[in-house]
Amino acid sequence: MLDVVDMNAARRALLKHCTALAVALAAAAAFAQGAPTQRLTILVVGDSLSAEYGLKRGSGWVALLEQRLAQEKISATVVNASISGDTTSGGRSRLPALLAQHRPTHVLLELGGNDALRGLPLAMTQANLDAMAQAAKAAGARVLIAGMQVPPNYGRKYSDDFAALFAAVAKKEDAALVPFLLKGVADGPQAASAFQADRIHPREEAHAAILANVWPVLKPQLLLR
């Protein structure tokens, strides 16, 4: 009887050891592949550039991002909280409720263009982005800031200072940065045909280029633990 008991105990110990080994190997494999170990939630807080203004639903760069995540087999939920016409002040006021509701792991801030269109003080735009980045980090999210530029007719100093404020916020808040969201679109050889009739909002065909600017910056953030 003692031999049978000892044998059963040995079997249980072996089974426990094998189970632990299998779990460890699975975790190691996931780590080696760079796959996130938790469900990710990406919150996009932007304006019309992210809200598919003038486009059919599901054709903007945020929708393309969802497709890319699926292709890369990265398990993530994308919440597009972008509103056409929104400013950094509007985004700042909306963000606390969005953070509480969605509990994102990553927050992408795409705001500031409408601040420039309205001639709002650059210091206010920068302060709002600072506050949003701080709030997102305090909620446990990683932050990515999408930089914007304005045409040279705004004046050289204003244009330079506006472009620089996004990098300044990213550096101060240790956030990832897309230097210019519309690179290859607004400054490309086919810029005139890349925009809708209002010459402000990119056409559907240009949104793949926008995602191409975002993805190389966002993907490494998704793989960080």
Give the catalytic positions in this structure.
48, 198, 201
Cβ–Cβ < 8 Å for 176, 218: yes
Spatial separation of the C-alpha atoms in residues 21 and 138, rounded to whole Å:
36
End-to-end Cα, the chain, rounded Å: 51
Question: CA–CA separation, 219 vs 222, rounded Å?
Answer: 5
Distance CA(165)–CA(29), nearest Å, equals 41
Do 206 and 194 meet the contact criterion of CB atoms below 8 Å apart?
yes
For 130-155, give one letter per residue: b (16+ CB within 10 A) or e: bbbbebbeebebbbbbbbbbbeeebe
**Whole-angstrom Cα distance, residue 69 to residue 52?**
19
Name residues whose C-beta falls within 8 Å of residue 128's C-beta, 6 or more positions apart in sequence: 87, 88, 89, 91, 92, 111
Judge contact between 37 and 225, C-beta under 8 A.
yes
Burial of 46 (0-12, 13-18, 19+ CB in 10 A): buried
